[in-house]
Amino acid sequence: MAKIITRFAPSPTGYLHIGSVRSALFSYLYAKKNGGKYFLRIEDTDKTRSKIEYEKDIIAGFQTLGLNWDNETLYRQSDHIAVYSALIKKLIAEDKAYVSKEEPKEEGERSEVIRLRNPNKKVTFTDLVHGEVSVDTTDLGDFVIAKSVDEPIFHFANVVDDHEMGITHVIRGEEHLSNTPRQILIQEALGYDKLAYAHIPLVLASDRSKLSKRQGSVSLREFLDKGYLSEALLNYLALLGWHPSHDKEIFTMPELISAFELERVQKRGAIWNFEKLDWVNKEHLKMNRETAENKIQEVLFKTLNLNPGTVDKNVLDAVVNIVFERINKFSDINELVLNNEVQYFFEEPKWQKDGFLWKGQGAFHEIADKLSAVEKLLGAMEGNYSKETIKETIWPYAEKEGRGFVLWPFRYALSGLAKSPDPFVIAEILKKETTVTRLKSAINFLTNES
């Protein structure tokens, strides 16, 4: 059997869509599973819309994902115009295509195009996902294959490129299924061998509409900018429209390659689920915890403008651990910072007097008295200062005075937030001296009449 060669052929007319990455991934997995090769091709014959910035985005995206292509030289359609031109002229000479005089319907429209002579036959092919597909091409008429001998359109250039690159299997989105009969007719006119096709289901939004900007991020760069891990994105994309023969959901790339079977790709559209993506990403963060914690530390230093030389390492390590437990992706750290949910570990919080009230009840001088009692109990502690021993020290007093009336202001004094870890955890991280100092500041704040 000939070596399997697949390809991904994006047009550089916009930033790389996440759905297109899924098509590329399936092509990559199929080739690697079968010991074949995977090629990347830039389809840039649309001179008006193609931009170098989009091509760079495509290349950078695949390098980041690790979906490395096997062709030594990147294949660009714009480098092969002479090949297309010679073949178009050949088809015209063989009377398989002709220059068609057109009646322009609007200003600027061409008066001449090149059309393929349609044999008006039924085209039948076996799609590796959808099964046998049969189309009567009569309705297509003599369709356009080029604007001029030097300007092939998508269908023609696509067929020629696949032949020139030795592609054996075309794995692409379902939206291209209707293009296949035209492309098979072009193959036959050029005398090319037939290819194997697999049209994978579309990626849909929750309302089953096409995934678009209104549902959130759609380009690969947006997902990477939000701090999703490359391996998590690929893992999640693989599960959109494909399922393994077992219940496993978290995969490394070698595991995906081993498990992937084109026969297990579903026919119906795959629904995008951001919550599932977050879960998959968190599982990969757990698998790469040390790397994740280093990244969290890096983001904290940058967003909080911290000086590494002045931060207690034990405090930093504890905060990193708390942040790790609360995020699914690295951009979640920015939200924590925006909501002041980590700053209190490194600086005294900004209090509001009403924030000390448990369910809006109590007098400020009474709260100050309770905080003073807590401060004295903690100040008298000796030896091991941990969340367990802190709780053992404070709990009897909280039980006596009412847990909410003691523990709520205790926690608020340390964090300045309505929601935060319990006060014993915070106190352990801040250490005894800082905890006592912060309680004294809170007491002064509450007893200040101004």
DSSP for 259-275, written as a single string = H--GGGB-SSPEEP-HH
Q: Is residue 55 part of a domain?
A: no
Q: Is residue 428 part of a domain?
A: yes
Contact indicator for 215, 28 with CB cutoff of 8 Å: no
Say what the pLDDT of residue 308 is.
82
Residues 361 and 441 grouped into a single domain:
yes
Reported as type and span, the H/E element at residue 115 is: strand 112-116
Residues 280 and 299 grouped into a single domain:
no
CA 439/CA 370 separation, integer angstroms: 10
Say what the pLDDT of residue 361 is.
87
- Summary mean pLDDT of the chain: 93
Residues 357 and 337 grouped into a single domain:
no
Residues 222 and 240 grouped into a single domain:
yes
The count of domains in the chain is: 3
Residues of 436-449 as b/e, b for ≥16 C-beta within 10 angstroms?
A: bebbeebbebbeee
Q: Is residue 160 part of a domain?
A: no
CATH at 250? 1.10.1160.10
Q: Is residue 206 part of a domain?
A: no
Tokens in use for 82?
């002479």
Other Cβ atoms closer than 10 A to 173: 18
Say what the pLDDT of residue 352 is.
94
Last residue of a domain, one of 345, 365, 389: 345
Spans of the chain below 50 pLDDT: 450
Model confidence over 364-406: pLDDT tens digits? 999 999 999 999 999 999 999 999 999 999 999 999 999 999 9
Last residue of a domain, one of 271, 286, 301: 286
Q: Is residue 293 part of a domain?
A: yes
Contact indicator for 231, 252 with CB cutoff of 8 Å: yes
350 is in an annotated binding site: no
Q: Is residue 222 part of a domain?
A: yes
Residues 437 and 415 grouped into a single domain:
yes
How buried is residue 169: exposed, middle or buried, by Cβ count under 10 Å (0-12/13-18/19+)? buried
Residues 327 and 378 grouped into a single domain:
no
CATH at 362? 1.10.10.350
Residues 243 and 279 grouped into a single domain:
yes
Contact indicator for 170, 151 with CB cutoff of 8 Å: no
Last residue of a domain, one of 277, 311, 345: 345
DSSP assigned state of 140: G
CA 414/CA 392 separation, integer angstroms: 18
Residues 328 and 376 grouped into a single domain:
no
Q: Is residue 34 part of a domain?
A: no
How buried is residue 350: exposed, middle or buried, by Cβ count under 10 Å (0-12/13-18/19+)? exposed
Q: Is residue 223 part of a domain?
A: yes
Residues 362 and 384 grouped into a single domain:
yes
Tokens in use for 312?
């207690």
Query: Distance between alpha carbon 3 and the CA centroid of its chain, in Å?
Result: 31
Question: Which of 143, 199, 191 has the alpha carbon at shortest distance from 175?
Answer: 199
Say what the pLDDT of residue 354 is.
94
CA 2/CA 193 separation, integer angstroms: 13
Question: What does residue 203 show for φ and ψ, rounded to 5 degrees?
Answer: -95, 120
Question: Which of 265, 264, 244, 266 has the alpha carbon at shortest distance from 255?
Answer: 244
Q: What is the DSSP secondary-structure string of 195-223?
A: -EEEEEPPEE-TTSSBP-GGGS--BHHHH
Q: Note down the domain range covering 240.
A: 213-286
Dihedral sign of CA atoms 118, 121, 126, 130 in order: positive
Residues 219 and 275 grouped into a single domain:
yes
Dihedral sign of CA atoms 252, 254, 257, 260 in order: negative
Residues 370 and 430 grouped into a single domain:
yes
Residues 268 and 222 grouped into a single domain:
yes
